[in-house]
Amino acid sequence: MVETNLTGESGLNLGAYLVEAQAPRDYEPVTDRGRATKENILAAAEVVFGESSYDGASISEITRRAGVAQGTFYQYFPDKRAAFVELVHQLNHALRRTIARAIAEAPDRLTAERIGFTTFFEYVRHHRSLYRIIRESEFVDIDTYRWHYTVLSEGYIQGLKQAQADGEIRDEISPDTLAWILMGIAEAAGARWVLWEETTPPDSVVDELMAFIHSALAPPVAL
């Protein structure tokens, strides 16, 4: 686990977004060249799994896309499933790192929500295979599927707890419930626009999403 002390202007503790993926390390390269080769294989795997599904993907196609010999694949992964699982961990970590950096300077939680949502949409636009890969992980490795959403929620819950303690959002709803609701909204909106329309949601849609979230989260105004 990577220890972090990232804190935004509003005191948001972002450390949970950057928890290192607990991927298998038996095949971890020790040289820069080896790490670059492994990253290249994972990048190719992301494309192949996204295009062909897990069952339809082959190691030969992954290595062809990566421009390496099949034997090279086995220097880093024992089998296709291991590569798939590590890819999920890599995508998850990259998503959390991207969001953490984007919201680090947010002045308050509601602003952080808007930045976080738009950052998520942009990330998915550049990693369109993410949805298919995560959905397939439920059937390839259920523990990895649960891990993906659990780790995402942990960072969210931590930020929401802090915002409630600071009086930035209402505290009648548990941060655990809020986190999963907000994650569901983001994922559904991403599927509707980024996957189906192949674009990020229009500003008007983001405005409507944020108006809804603001009405749900903003603390009541004292009279």
Same domain, 98 and 31: no
Mean pLDDT of 111-130: 97
Quick one: what percent of the chain has pLDDT higher than 90? Answer: 84
Range(s) of the domain holding residue 31: 27-78
Quick one: what percent of the chain has pLDDT higher than 70? Answer: 87
**Per-residue pLDDT band at 26 (split at 50, 70, 90):** low
Q: Which residues, at least 6 apart from 187, have a Cβ–Cβ distance to it below 8 Å?
A: none
**Per-residue pLDDT band at 152 (split at 50, 70, 90):** very high
DSSP secondary structure of 137-151:
HHHH-HHHHHHHHHH
pLDDT by residue (tens digit) across 67-120? 999 999 999 999 999 999 999 999 999 999 999 999 999 999 999 999 999 999
How far apart are the two ends of the chain, measured CA to CA in Å?
Answer: 46
Asked if pLDDT for residue 5 goes beyond 70, the answer is no
pLDDT at residue 223, as a whole number: 56
CATH number of the domain residue 60 falls in: 1.10.10.60
Same domain, 168 and 212: yes
Same domain, 132 and 167: yes
Same domain, 136 and 218: yes
CA distances (Å), 156 to each of 42, 53, 64, 70, 97, in order? 27, 29, 38, 40, 13
**Structural domain contains residue 15:** no
The pTM (predicted TM-score) of the whole model is: 0.86
Mean pLDDT of 43-71: 97
Same domain, 188 and 127: yes
Asked if pLDDT for residue 24 goes beyond 60, the answer is no
Q: Which residues, at least 6 apart from 4, have a Cβ–Cβ distance to it below 8 Å?
A: 14, 15, 18
**Structural domain contains residue 161:** yes
Asked if pLDDT for residue 159 goes beyond 80, the answer is yes
Count of C-beta atoms within a 10 Å radius of residue 52: 14
CATH number of the domain residue 157 falls in: 1.10.357.10
Query: Do 83 and 62 contact (CB within 8 A), yes or no?
Result: yes
Count how many domains the chain has: 2
> CA 30, CA 34: separation in Å to the nearest integer?
7
Mean pLDDT of 33-52: 97
Tokens of 150: 């659990």
Mean pLDDT of 188-196: 96
pLDDT at residue 28, as a whole number: 82
For all residues of the chain together, what is the average pLDDT?
89
Same domain, 109 and 56: no
